[in-house]
A and B are shown apart, each in its own frame.
Chain A
Amino acid sequence: MHRPHDQLARRISRRTVLRGAGVTLALPWLESIPAWSTESSDTGAEDRFPQRFAALFMACGVHPDHWWGKGSGSEMELSRSLAPMESLKTKMNVIEGLFNKNSTGVGIHPGQTGNILSGASLQKGAELKGGISVDQVLASRLGQETAQPSMVLGCEQPITGYHETNFSMAYSSHISWQNATSPVPMEVYPSLAFDSLFDNRGSRRNQSVLDRVREEAASLGRRTSFGDRSRLDEYLTSVREVEKRIERQRIQQNKAADRAKHRGASVVTMKRPDNGLPEDIREHMRLMCDVIALAFQTDKTRVGTLLLCRDISGLFYPFLGVRNAHHSASHNDRSEDWEKISRYYCSQLAYLAGRLDAMPEGDGTVLDNSCLLWVNNMWSGSRHDSTKVPLLTAGGLGGTLKTGRVLDYSGEDDEQRKLCSLYLSIMNRMGVSMDSFGDANAQLAGL
């Protein structure tokens, strides 16, 4: 990865992502109001709806025999595992044959996962080293526009420790990386993910600090003589000014949310999730998808990742009648059990895409302005095969991404089937133009 991105991403995401660590106060964004949420948006900016990107991750492969699409458009035929997408198939793409060179031949599991969104080569041993992930590049470039540059969510707690390949298990738990050495802290609590988004916690915290500073500076100002006060007055004025801007920003965002409500009658309404972790994984995934849907609709963020399960996952699925936990089940990946699990994960994409598609935006829906990426780190869990990965996209990304297609790159040269090329294409379509990313120097042909 190129250093400047690393640093940029670090500077922004470090202090803005989750747990209310505080929204950055880089002032340029305070001055530039998101285009679509300005007062003038009623008069013509409507055609420039924000583009959003979210990646959903499932680990340990899919059922290799039941993961395919044929044909195109409304004629497209979907395999058993992809059936949940049936009603949305014209808005999706089935993309086969892409891969990350750096996740092959290095040993199974963590080495196949920590770079799924970065394409970076990972380092073994105690010291973590990989590369910034595509979502964080987007967040660092587009994140200034929104309350949160990105959301990094997970439905399974991250773990560390060492895998037998001597890769840190941290690579198995994190797909979003803010720079080469640090993953983005992942939020697994739906309630906190909700808060971080809708409370504007970060800016509230900054406002509280500034409030107090202002009081203090004011009392100092009273105590010192005229001459000295000039610089302090400047300080005081600046504090007041920044506070006002934060306030304006909050008002803008609330207005944007309001407008979103008016435009589409069926806005997602969501009550704050309960504290703690949902013990039913179905509930957990649904809540996280709802948080993303709501965030996208109200333009609180435009970038998200959701780790549905981590690599070597210990999730288990009594509701599917499967007794084995995720990872063990994947070792028998031509089984009925594993097909059910694969289908279940596909249904998460269907759920989120469905929610976004129910949100009108202009002539289309929020889904039409988004790109959801569903990706897995392996094709086959029994063989730990990552020479190609299962991948689906949903949404037209504001008319820049044609859908209803099956694209198969399996027969192409390795150079022509890079995951990072796909990421380059998506970034470029979102206005983040880069010449290279990860191991790719060119966009994906034929997308």
Chain B
Amino acid sequence: MKPGYLTSDIRPWLDIARHIVYGAAFLTVFMLMSPTVRAEDSAAKVLDREFRSTVIPFLNAYCLNCHGTDRQEAKLNLSGYTSAGTVASSHQVWEIVLERIAAKEMPPEDAQRQPTAQHRKAVVAWIHSAREYEARRNAGDPGPVLARRLSNAEYNSSIRDLTGIDIRPTRTFPVDPANAAGFDNSGESLAMSPALLGKYLDASREVVEHLVLKPDGIGFAAHAVVTDTDRDRYCVKRIVEFYQRQPTDLADYFFAAWQFRFREKLGRGPETLQQTAARTGVSEKYLKSVWSLLVSQDRQISVGPIMRLQDLWPGAPSETLQPADARRECERMRDYTVALRSRLRPRFRDMTIEGSHVGSQPFVLWKNRQYVAHRQTYDRDILQVGEAASPAVNMLDAALRVPADDVERERYEAAFGRFCSVFPDAFYVSERGRDYVQDSKKLMGEKGRLLSAGFHSMMGYFRDDRPLYDMILDTAEQKELDALWRELDFVTRAPMRQYSGFLWFERTDSRYMREPQFDFARPENQDASSDRMIRQLNTVYVEKARRTGGGDVEITAIQHYFHEINEQIRWVEKARLEAEPGHIQAVLQFADRAWRRALSKTERKDLIKYYQILREQDGLNHEEAIQDLIVYVLMSPHFCFRMDMAGSGSERQPLTNDELASRLSYFLWSSIPDRELRHLAASGRLRQPDVLQAQTKRMLQDERIRGLATEFTGNWLGFRRFEEHNSVDRVRFPVFTDQLRQAMFEEPIHFIVDMIQQDRSVFAFLDAKHTFVNATLASHYGIPDERLETLPAVASAASGGTFSATGPWLKIDDANVYGRGGLLPMSVFLTKNAPGLRTSPVKRGYWVARHLLGERIPPPPPNVPELPADESRLGDLTLREALARHRDNKSCSGCHQRFDTIGLAFEGYGPVGERRTKDLGGRPVSTDAVFPGGQEGTGLHGLQTYLRQHRQDEFLNNLCRKLLSFALGRSLILSDDLLVHDMRVKLEADDYRFGSLIESIVTSPQFLNRRSGGHSEGQ
């Protein structure tokens, strides 16, 4: 094959001549069929004639005795085939017939009559040509694809990408059945039942439990959001995480300023302050402030703390002052600044009035506001004037000393003023206990009160982040933070709850409102938080406050409180009302994404109308109506069915751009298309070959490619359900923990994601020297810890971004040293194919033959003798010997010789894939094997060599067929043979890179077109 031959995207699919040139496999066919009969109808006639003259006599003589009307050995009935056409319509059956006859397995050795070699050859050739004829007749047929529901895995991923939350609502669904090709993503197997529909309804309801209605749209929380405490948790977490993301470590700024100062010496000559800030991840705005303070030449303030900081700032980099040293010194500057700054913090008195409680809302808020107003100033009284009587014991005490001389003192005070304005006593306060509590031990216990206002017993949030907001955040970040705080009030109805707490507290712990004039204002009163009632309470409360000795400051604080809380409550009420149309729009957008296409005008109208019906006729409130609207969107077949796959006629038609986007994303990501795909689909460009290819490449690099890795390879190689694998005796194998099981499951996924993203050769599956491990698996594989420490963690999609908690994964390039590398020795397969307390060469060999090489092996007869479950109970025989006896039995040997010995090469690995030299009965294990075909080899390496030298073709063929079947969401049909052939050709031309297969598939007519489920074959 010549590389480059298939570079053109518009391939002449139906070019028969090309197949004659390149399709070695088809040469036999054309040797049989003379060129003159190539016209279709005459070809059909020839086939029919041949069938009658060659095949029927063969069937009658050698097959129908056992596979006929009277007996159907292996459930096979070959009677009733009267023409070439009838054979074509059961091509799957005839493929098996072909294989068995060609391999001389049928008729069986002990049959009374055997065909001549020539007759056998003629029948084999005929089946080939019949298949070839049929395939060619329907070349490029998209095949019968049924509109079908999403598989469980697709459902989960789609919900994850729709909501941003990995809710996995199908975890309680029944396992999806697989189709004949072993995949659970086809209409052939994905049926719907009332029981399942009920679960779909549950699943949709579960999704909307995570719904959060926000001022500007809808969102989903990581946890269910049903109670106030859920809502608090969601909003508070978002704000606190925002704070924690901000660069507020002063050492970072001192260090960045240092790097900027010495940028030339550090080899970054042209860097601007802006660039330094960006590179070091600090705020540009604040770096400027810090920078100008550190380089300030202002004589007036270069005393006291500022002089001290300038002194501490490290000098030019040198042999003895490496950046790491400078960094350490900058940390010392920070520690000094923070310590000194905390000493300069002004204190404020607790406010209270006679008969009230010091922890009451108006007073606590007043004091909080004092702190907020003074975060960038200091208390002059804290400074110590004049010489100390005795030398200061600690550096900070010394730092607080200022000269007694008026002029000098003024200079110092100005320096402290500047220092405190650049370094606030806190950028933000995210936790607050009750500030008025004197007992510091008690206060120590009040940890974790996030964003709390610090009231006594009452809930209430308080925003205290002015310095962060003013000095560090840029405009966009300020907007984001403002929005988060608005969201908190909006979502949690914090002001209403806070006020209701006030009404309760003021007549319990605080006894201030126990008199009858306050009776009207009780939380039970439906109207208590109305504008009128709040004003009324304000009046009554202030009257009492004046009577009980409240001064102007106290009265103002109280009035301020009522005014503020009233405003806040009114805002929440108003905002909630105003946000309603936005929520409906957000659901329309949600539907657009969920249904994977633009909504029609009618659909938009209908959805809005449905909302109105829910509100007006069904009497739901806004939130309930939005919930049900979303439930409806998710229950609609447009979401839970792959409508893009359904054709609307038996004619072949190209997929629309939106449908193509869906098909791509469900193939590669098992999920909905993302914005970029949808955008390209909407502009009609996705079908352009260059765009399609570029998008495919992009998608392969996206972390969602884990979808393909898990769903395709998991089903192909039979480990998809290994996370639930429970047949290991954990008493005998205590090493097999849940963590190890999870790590075993992840290993092939990491391996395959890496293969896809690095576009490696598919032969790596068979004989790569590398594999991937986390700490748990490394220890199972005997890879020393020291090896791991030196390796960089893999940032591949396989770690699933936020979806995995199995620790960092590392690529081990010389895993062969530890007996690993490639798929074969992965413990997931070795464990899965071992029945507990012994290994199973039968299962392991069968796995290689069946899953990896795609050999078709019939099921065993029902009366097979069992081997002991525990290999220590095998008596005098080794497992190897026991199996050899089994193979002596004629009815077993036919199949077992095709895989037993392959499995024996794995005997160096125990029941959980651990390396071993002795079996559980203490007998030394041997890994010598005579492989099918007679080649000899030892252990893993021997098997790898054997597979590469003798079975490679089967492996490639199987991989192509499986991947194609997965991509198309159906079993393969005869006409796909041509595509498989082309995939092989291109794969070879592309150095066997995995990406070549994907490219072949996504550009194939099978992938780009569709037709309805009706059969066209054999008609």
Interface residues of A (CB under 8 A from B): 10-11, 14-15, 19-22, 24-27, 30, 124-128, 157-166, 168-170, 181-185, 204-206, 208-210, 212-213, 216-217, 220, 223-228, 230-232, 234-235, 237-239, 241-242, 245, 276-279, 281, 284, 312-314, 316, 323-328
A174 to B445, CA, bound (A): 23
- Tell me how far the C-beta of A229 lies from the nearest C-beta in chain B, rounded to whole angstroms: 8
Contact for B202 among A15, A168, A226, CB less than 8 A: A15
A162 to B454, CA, bound (A): 8
B960 at interface (Cβ–Cβ under 8 A)? no
26 A–B contacts, CB within 8 A, in A order: A14-B226, A25-B198, A27-B198, A127-B233, A127-B448, A157-B500, A160-B497, A164-B457, A170-B228, A181-B223, A182-B226, A208-B614, A216-B638, A217-B637, A223-B648, A226-B1012, A231-B146, A231-B147, A231-B191, A235-B641, A276-B526, A314-B503, A323-B514, A325-B508, A325-B514, A327-B509
The answer to whether B227 and A182 have CB atoms under 8 Å apart is: yes
The answer to whether B458 and A279 have CB atoms under 8 Å apart is: no
The answer to whether B497 and A159 have CB atoms under 8 Å apart is: yes
The answer to whether B202 and A24 have CB atoms under 8 Å apart is: yes
Residue of A22, A125, A161 most packed against chain B (CB within 10 A) = A161
- Tell me how far the C-beta of B641 lies from the nearest C-beta in chain A, rounded to whole angstroms: 7
Smallest CB-CB separation from B172: which chain A residue?
A11
- Tell me how far the C-beta of B584 lies from the nearest C-beta in chain A, rounded to whole angstroms: 16
The answer to whether B190 and A231 have CB atoms under 8 Å apart is: yes
Please give 12 more A-B residue pairs, beta carbons under 8 A apart, in addition to A27-B195, A182-B229.
A14-B226, A164-B437, A165-B445, A182-B230, A185-B227, A206-B201, A217-B636, A220-B637, A224-B147, A239-B197, A314-B503, A325-B507
| Given A125-B448, A325-B514: A182 in contact with B196 (beta carbons within 8 A) | no
The answer to whether B637 and A235 have CB atoms under 8 Å apart is: yes
The answer to whether A14 and B198 have CB atoms under 8 Å apart is: no
Contact for A327 among B192, B226, B447, B508, CB less than 8 A: B508
The answer to whether A26 and B202 have CB atoms under 8 Å apart is: yes
The answer to whether B146 and A230 have CB atoms under 8 Å apart is: yes
> Which A residues touch B504, using CB under 8 A?
159, 314
- Tell me how far the C-beta of A96 lies from the nearest C-beta in chain B, rounded to whole angstroms: 29
A27 to B455, CA, bound (A): 48
Smallest CB-CB separation from B204: which chain A residue?
A209
- Tell me how far the C-beta of A107 lies from the nearest C-beta in chain B, rounded to whole angstroms: 9
Contact for A157 among B449, B523, B638, CB less than 8 A: B523
A127 to B446, CA, bound (A): 13
- Tell me how far the C-beta of A39 lies from the nearest C-beta in chain B, rounded to whole angstroms: 22
| Given A276-B526, A277-B526: A234 in contact with B191 (beta carbons within 8 A) | yes
| Given A160-B459, A164-B442, A225-B1014: A279 in contact with B522 (beta carbons within 8 A) | yes
Could you mark each residue 286-312 of chain B with 1 if its beta carbon is under 8 Å from any beta carbon of chain A, else 0? 000000000000000000000000000
Q: How large is the interface on B (under 10, 10 to 19, 20 to 34, 35 or more residues)?
A: 35 or more
- Tell me how far the C-beta of A435 lies from the nearest C-beta in chain B, rounded to whole angstroms: 22
A285 to B434, CA, bound (A): 35
Contact for B1012 among A182, A206, A225, A312, CB less than 8 A: A225
In chain B between 165 and 223, which residues have their CB closer than 8 angstroms to a CB of chain A? 172, 187, 190-199, 201-202, 205-206, 209, 223
| Given A161-B501, A212-B632, A238-B192: A26 in contact with B198 (beta carbons within 8 A) | yes
The answer to whether B198 and A169 have CB atoms under 8 Å apart is: no
A121 to B1014, CA, bound (A): 62
The answer to whether A209 and B526 have CB atoms under 8 Å apart is: no
> Which A residues touch B452, using CB under 8 A?
161-162
> Which B residues touch A210, using CB under 8 A?
201, 635
The answer to whether B229 and A205 have CB atoms under 8 Å apart is: no
- Tell me how far the C-beta of B619 lies from the nearest C-beta in chain A, rounded to whole angstroms: 9
A216 to B606, CA, bound (A): 11
Contact for B192 among A234, A276, A277, CB less than 8 A: A234
Interface residues of B (CB under 8 A from A): 144, 146-149, 172, 187, 190-199, 201-202, 205-206, 209, 223-224, 226-230, 232-233, 236, 433-434, 437, 442, 445-450, 452, 455-460, 497, 500-501, 503-505, 507-509, 511, 514, 522-526, 610, 613-614, 618, 620, 624, 628, 631-632, 635-638, 641, 643, 646-650, 1012-1014
> Which B residues touch A242, using CB under 8 A?
194, 197-198, 201
> Which B residues touch A228, using CB under 8 A?
146-147, 646-648, 1012-1013
A245 to B149, CA, bound (A): 22
Smallest CB-CB separation from A179: which chain B residue?
B224
| Given A232-B637, A324-B514: A163 in contact with B457 (beta carbons within 8 A) | yes
The list of the 10 closest CB pairs from A to B, nearest first, reads: A227-B1013, A125-B448, A161-B459, A314-B504, A241-B194, A238-B197, A228-B646, A27-B198, A160-B459, A25-B198
A312 to B457, CA, bound (A): 9
| Given A208-B614, A226-B1014: A277 in contact with B524 (beta carbons within 8 A) | yes
Smallest CB-CB separation from B359: which chain A residue?
A164
> Which B residues touch A184, using CB under 8 A?
227
| Given A159-B497, A227-B146: A183 in contact with B229 (beta carbons within 8 A) | yes
> Which A residues touch B197, using CB under 8 A?
235, 238-239, 241-242
Contact for A161 among B193, B455, B647, B1014, CB less than 8 A: B455
Contact for A235 among B172, B192, B447, B500, CB less than 8 A: B192
> Which A residues touch B224, using CB under 8 A?
10, 14, 182
The answer to whether B448 and A238 have CB atoms under 8 Å apart is: no
- Tell me how far the C-beta of B723 lies from the nearest C-beta in chain A, rounded to whole angstroms: 17
Contact for A213 among B455, B511, B635, CB less than 8 A: B635
> Which A residues touch B172, using CB under 8 A?
11
The answer to whether B500 and A126 have CB atoms under 8 Å apart is: no
The answer to whether A126 and B202 have CB atoms under 8 Å apart is: no
> Which A residues touch B209, using CB under 8 A?
14-15, 21
The answer to whether B229 and A128 have CB atoms under 8 Å apart is: yes
A239 to B526, CA, bound (A): 42
Smallest CB-CB separation from A323: which chain B residue?
B514
The answer to whether B631 and A209 have CB atoms under 8 Å apart is: yes
The answer to whether A169 and B459 have CB atoms under 8 Å apart is: yes
| Given A183-B227, A208-B628: A124 in contact with B448 (beta carbons within 8 A) | yes
Contact for A159 among B226, B445, B459, CB less than 8 A: B459
A305 to B371, CA, bound (A): 44
The answer to whether A25 and B201 have CB atoms under 8 Å apart is: yes
| Given A159-B497, A232-B147: A212 in contact with B194 (beta carbons within 8 A) | no
| Given A166-B447, A314-B523: A205 in contact with B637 (beta carbons within 8 A) | no
A168 to B613, CA, bound (A): 40
The answer to whether A166 and B445 have CB atoms under 8 Å apart is: yes
Residue of B144, B195, B229, B437 most packed against chain A (CB within 10 A) = B229
The answer to whether A225 and B647 have CB atoms under 8 Å apart is: yes
Residue of A20, A157, A227 most packed against chain B (CB within 10 A) = A227
Smallest CB-CB separation from B614: which chain A residue?
A208
A230 to B459, CA, bound (A): 56
Smallest CB-CB separation from B646: which chain A residue?
A228
Contact for B228 among A126, A158, A181, CB less than 8 A: A158
> Which A residues touch B236, using CB under 8 A?
126
Contact for B149 among A30, A225, A231, CB less than 8 A: A231
Contact for A231 among B446, B631, B641, B647, CB less than 8 A: B641
Residue of A213, A217, A323 most packed against chain B (CB within 10 A) = A213
The answer to whether B457 and A169 have CB atoms under 8 Å apart is: yes
A15 to B225, CA, bound (A): 11
Contact for A170 among B191, B229, B649, CB less than 8 A: B229
- Tell me how far the C-beta of A87 lies from the nearest C-beta in chain B, rounded to whole angstroms: 31
The answer to whether A238 and B206 have CB atoms under 8 Å apart is: no
A400 to B497, CA, bound (A): 44
